[in-house]
Structure 1
Amino acid sequence: MIVVAGESLIDLVPLRDGPGGGGPLPALLPRPGGGPYNTAVALGRLGARAAFCSRMSTDGFGEALLAGLRTAGVDTSLVARGPEPTTLAVAAVGADGSAGYGFYAEGSADRLFELPSALPAPARAVAFGTCSLVLEPGASAYERLLRREARRGLFTLLDPNVRPGLIPDPDAYRERFASWLPDVTLLKLSEDDARWLGGVPDGPRGPAAVVLTRGSRGLTVRTRGGTEVSVPAVPVTVADTIGAGDTVNAALLHALDSRGALSADGLAALDGPAWRELLGFAARAAAITCSRPGAEPPYADELRG
């Protein structure tokens, strides 16, 4: 089982076409979202055994988000519920499909996340990222979960998916981010993340591997053992990039699990051709997500062959 820990939210995506589309104030379409939520849904759609660990609202948005997890086959037994509202993220989509966000997260359900007593016995990996590692008091609970499970020997993936508008003290966040790295097996960064954080981390106490997403220029992996492999992006007509990085997370976790490589030793044993295959699979999955509005990760059938 792969556990994904972090927030769910509602993306409010502007409509470009149709009634209410365009203009200075376009209509907004609510879509399920949140980096960890998208990763969990993508894992379920790919056929992985996945669970979501979070606190979700009992409001209408929370019910819809929970239904989305269940439809994707994701285990929701680690989801706590509360009456607090669901976080809203208002997306601004550029001409190239890239997305920026404004967040309405004050007093939302995920911020009251508490450390679970234990993860299910079948758990082999746990993934973290985005707003849930910034917004307190929940951020500290997610951090404790990361450290606890890493020290129990679980494979850990971290995708900081940096949202600068949510970070009041950038230097303090960068210092905190650096403190997580000894407990991270696989780190996924976008080029924007890497620039904001001050570069791609390396060194003997860092992650076993770092995957860097480079937009239309593809993906690159750098391993602690010195392997570096790049693959091109898959050409596609881009609707938007919402959920593309989250799909990469899920595709990598699913492919590593299929290879029996969900461990630091498993990553170390992968050679260049194996990494090329893994990154190619992730690139194809992300391309499908980019071809559709909002975070709509692919199903396994769409990636066969």
Structure 2
Amino acid sequence: MILVCGEALMDVFSEQETASGLVLDARVGGSPFNVAVGLARMGQPVAFFGGLSQGFLGDRLRKALVAEHVEIGFSPVVDAPTTLGLVGLLDDGSASYAFYGNGCADRLIKADDIPDLDDRFTALHFGSYTTVVEPVASAQRLLIERERHRRLIAYDPNLRLNVEPNLGRWTSTMAWMAAHVHIIKVSSEDLHASFPGAPLNEVAKSWLGLGCRLVVVTRGGSGAIAFTQTEVVEVASPRVDVVDTVGAGDTFQAALLTWLSERGTLSVAAVESLGAQQLRLALEFASGAASMTCTRRGADMPRRKEFGNG
């Protein structure tokens, strides 16, 4: 089983203008929430650890997780609102976000909320803004420090400067994560924003030098590239008609973890020993899954039966 840690929120899309305002379409979301749903749809046992509100939006998030067969027993019910992420779509289908989340449930996880994990759990995933806002960020670090020698840990920065505008907070968190987690998946867009002018391979090598075992950089329509201590492997992205890119990175991460799990390689030792051919197959599998999400509106992750063995 995989434990996914982080935020669950409502993505609010602008549908159309009306005489008096806008028609809005609110959908369940949040990067870690999407990864959890993606894993469940790909047949992986998964649980979610994040603060969910007591209100009707929190109820809808819980209902969605249960419907997708994501275990929610580790997610505290918090007397606080649900974060809203307003999503605007650009002409190329890429998304821009504005978040309304100060004092909301997903940020209020504390050390006392950290769950005890039994032997069912083989891996944990962390990502996005709950790794940089308090008190949840400190609670997550305690969990990582407790589990890093027992289970595989994955991380996706999923940079959101409109939540935490201090870039130094993000880059220091990335460095801390690189020294404590085993897999980092990051978009080239986030890397360029975080380390302007720095070559992608130099950033990846610096993280490997800190202790991370596998760094994967996704590059949208240009494909993905994986770095380990001994290998550098690059694959192209499938060509598809893009509706939008919402959830594509989360799908990639869920598919990558699924590929590893299905082959019995969801462990630190196994990830360290992945060869070039295995890495190529893993990237192709994850890229194919992400491309399917790009053909749909919103973070609609594919189900395992929709694509091949990889």
Q: CA deviation at 1:139?
A: 1.5
1:30 aligns to what SS in structure 2? Answer: strand
Q: Is the 8 A contact 2:132 2:173 kept in 1?
A: no
TM-score normalised by length of structure 1: 0.93
Q: Is the 8 A contact 2:235 2:283 kept in 1?
A: yes
2:103 aligns to what SS in structure 1? Answer: coil
Q: Is the 8 A contact 1:10 1:31 kept in 2?
A: yes
**Shift in CA distance, 277/108, structure 1 to aligned 2, threshold 3 Å:** same
2:63 aligns to what SS in structure 1? Answer: helix
* 2:187 alignment counterpart: 190
Alignment of 1:31-70 (within 5 A): 31-70=27-66
Partners in 2 of 1:244 and 1:259 — Cα distance?
Answer: 23
Partners in 2 of 1:239 and 1:146 — Cα distance?
Answer: 36
TM-score normalised by length of structure 2: 0.92
Partners in 2 of 1:212 and 1:291 — Cα distance?
Answer: 21
The correspondence for 2:77, drawn from 52, 75, 81, is 81
The correspondence for 1:241, drawn from 237, 240, 245, is 245
Residue 220 of structure 1 pairs with residue 225 of structure 2: yes
Identity level (%): 36
Q: What's the Cα RMSD here?
A: 1.8
Moved more, 295-304 or 21-30: 21-30
Query: 2:247 is matched by which residue type in structure 1?
Result: G
Alignment of 1:5-24 (within 5 A): 5-15=5-15, 20=16
Query: 1:171 is matched by which residue type in structure 2?
Result: G
Residue 181 of structure 1 pairs with residue 178 of structure 2: yes
The correspondence for 1:108, drawn from 71, 79, 104, is 104
**Shift in CA distance, 228/25, structure 1 to aligned 2, threshold 3 Å:** farther
1:97 aligns to what SS in structure 2? Answer: coil
1:37 aligns to what SS in structure 2? Answer: helix
Alignment of 1:93-104 (within 5 A): 93-104=89-100
Partners in 2 of 1:22 and 1:241 — Cα distance?
Answer: 26
Partners in 2 of 1:206 and 1:24 — Cα distance?
Answer: 55
Q: Is the 8 A contact 2:131 2:173 kept in 1?
A: no
Q: Is the 8 A contact 1:129 1:158 kept in 2?
A: yes
Q: Is the 8 A contact 1:207 1:224 kept in 2?
A: no
The correspondence for 1:132, drawn from 130, 133, 140, is 130
Gaps of 5+ in 1: none
The correspondence for 1:273, drawn from 265, 277, 283, is 277
Alignment of 1:262-301 (within 5 A): 262-301=266-305
1:11 aligns to what SS in structure 2? Answer: strand
* Residue deviations 1:27-57 (CA, integer Å, cap 9, x gap): 2210111000000000000000111011101
Partners in 2 of 1:154 and 1:299 — Cα distance?
Answer: 26
**Shift in CA distance, 27/270, structure 1 to aligned 2, threshold 3 Å:** same
Moved more, 41-50 or 169-178: 169-178
* 1:304 alignment counterpart: 308
